[in-house]
Amino acid sequence: MSAEFLQLSLVPLLVGMLACIACALPGNFLVLRRQSLIGDAVSHVVLPGIVAAFLVTGTVAATAMLVGAAAAAVVAVVLIEFVRRVGRIEPGAAMGVIFTTMFAAGVLMIEQSDTSGVHLDVEHALYGNLESLVWFAAEDWGSLTDPVALADLPPQLARLAVVTVAMVAFTIVAWKELVLSTFDAGFAESVGARPTLIGFLLVVAVAVAAVAAFDAVGSIIVIAMFICPPAAARLMTDRLLPQIAWSIGFAALSGIAGYVLAGYGPLWLGFDASVSAAGMIATVSGLLLAVACLVGPHRRGSGRSGATV
Amino acid sequence: MHPAELVAIDGRTLKRGDAGSPLSITGLTVTYSGKPVVFSVDVTVPAGSMMAIVGPNGAGKSTLIRAALGIVPRLSGDVTAFGEPVGKVRDRIAYVPQRASVDWDFPATVLDVVVMGLYRRIGLLRFAGRRHRATAMACLERVGMAGFAGRQIGQLSGGQQQRVFLARALAQDAQLYVMDEPFAGVDAATERAIIEVLRTLQAEGKTIVAVHHDLATVPVYFDHVLLMNVRAVADGPVATTFTPEHLQATYGGRLAPAQLDDIAAALAGRRTAAAS
């Protein structure tokens, strides 16, 4: 039992949890900026970025994928701004145009290039492949301290750990600037807090988190991780730091509960197959948001109650 | 090429604005999608003055101050504050945006917002400490909001929110206060509290520039005025500048005669007060 758990479940559990946390952290600021759609846009444009990186480098090395996806996110942000200014349309429409176009281009690139031989199929890109993260070298709990066995851990785990640490570091290092530019961009500019630069860095952070989570939960479901835990957390508190703490808790809970329910839930109900872990993680995060909407102590704040005299 | 010097046809060197002025704007033009919203505005704010920026809706008043402070890009024009580019003297300028320009549902307390005014003093990579919170509390005290420090900002009335913004500006401990409609939508008590604080600041030698909507109170609250409608119509001391002729030119003849009578009466009241 313990060997089976270590081999089959431990890594997907940790990866799912870290993916959720890495996305939820920058997601807090996206939700507060009413830019949740940016998470959607970025998680879509990750696909052409990754395919382009593969076509250029010929490998599926993590570094190349990360760079490609981050570059695609930057290109998307620049294009969105360009379309918004030149086309004089609202940001939501500009985002919709750019991210669907780039995503479609990614799908075409996958089909036209001979990438079917490597593990880069559309289904994987959309839904992720959490269940495939098997730790073959694990034999018992002692493997957790065995360097040989640890070296065999799926690389996604270390990658997500690094990215999660990077998200924590970004949030801490840029804390004052993030808060200031999110709450009052004009004031932030007037005191030299560089809100434009911070907004740009936030999008890059979102892109990096999206790429790292991409492997685990796929590009479509990543969006739930950016929005659901922070949105649910906002309903639990009226202060930013506790909100971020709640969002991390909700994210971790979604990751763990989603994986466990996907693997064992159907068995408990008498079905003989498990369901997609990524799908279940997103479902759980959505359910948490629904519960927070119903019983969260600070759900009144959704209207602009303070704006009236 | 030194942009600070212009030579006129008769050979004089034209100084751009007044070198020592807290805020000197020369030829400022801002366009939104090709249309000028502020066109070639020149204004020099005298040190220690309290200047109202007055004009109809869409006259570019907010845009003028936002462009002057580098918050929105300008097409052309020179702006200096205390004789330096604005970017070099940010420590000496406090900007108070329109209350409606921010999302008051933001998860922050009143104290959190006032501490934002200490951004430059806290410094990069550092967090607000007890000392900063004490400074912020003292500023809340000055606007009569100390009892609300722990409140979420969305729970405040419009007037209270405006006072919180003023407290944040006080925390900046600036020499020049640039305010966008500080009296918009506030209750009478808040209006009195704000004007009292502003007068104290002026008595301390600080300079105040405010976009202002209520024509009747311009002569009561301010000593200088800039009348503008995309272009500057007139600027100078209220007593000589805030005239019915200039107002009609600013508002394109859309002011009712009764309004002008009120203003004339207020101006007369001001002159009598000054004479006595």
Q: What angle do CA B184, B189, B194 make, to 5 degrees?
A: 60
Q: How far is A252 from chain B (nearest CA, A)?
A: 22
| Structural contact between residues B176 and B50, judged by C-beta atoms closer than 8 angstroms | no
Distance CA A240, CA A246 (A): 10
| Structural contact between residues B249 and B55, judged by C-beta atoms closer than 8 angstroms | no
Amino acid identity of residue B244, one-letter, is P
How many contacts, defined by CB atoms under 8 Å, are there between A and B? 100
Classified as helix, coil or strand, B94 is strand
Distance CA B245, CA B120 (A): 44
Domains along chain A with CATH numbers: 2-136+157-295 (1.10.3470.10)
**Helical residues (DSSP H) of B105-205, grouped into ranges:** 110-115, 119-122, 130-142, 158-171, 188-203
Q: Does A308 touch chain B (CB under 8 A)?
A: yes
Which residue in the block uniquely carries the two structure tokens 């879509």?
A44
**If you compute the radius of gyration of chain B from its CA atoms, what whole number of angstroms results?**
19
Amino acid identity of residue B182, one-letter, is P
Phi, psi for A277 (deg, rounded to 5): -65, -40
Listed by start position, the domains of chain B span 16-275
Quick one: fold of B16-275?
A: Rossmann fold (3.40.50)
Contact B112 A307 (CB under 8 A): no
Please report, in tens digits, the pLDDT of each residue of chain A (309 residues total).
Answer: 577 888 888 898 999 999 999 999 999 999 999 888 888 888 788 788 888 888 888 776 777 877 888 788 888 888 887 887 787 788 788 888 888 899 899 888 887 776 555 555 566 666 777 878 888 888 888 888 888 888 888 888 988 999 999 999 999 999 999 999 999 999 999 999 999 899 889 988 988 888 888 766 776 678 889 999 999 999 999 999 999 999 999 999 999 999 999 888 887 877 777 788 888 899 999 999 999 999 888 765 444 343 333
Report chain A residues whose CB lies below 8 A from the CB of B186.
309
ipTM above 0.85 for this complex: yes
**Helical residues (DSSP H) of A184-194, grouped into ranges:** 185-190
Looking at every residue in chain B, the average pLDDT score rounds to 90
Most B-contacting residue of A187, A196, A298 (CB-CB within 10 A), to test interface: A187
A94's CB contacts (< 8 A; 6+ apart) are A80, A81, A83, A84, A87
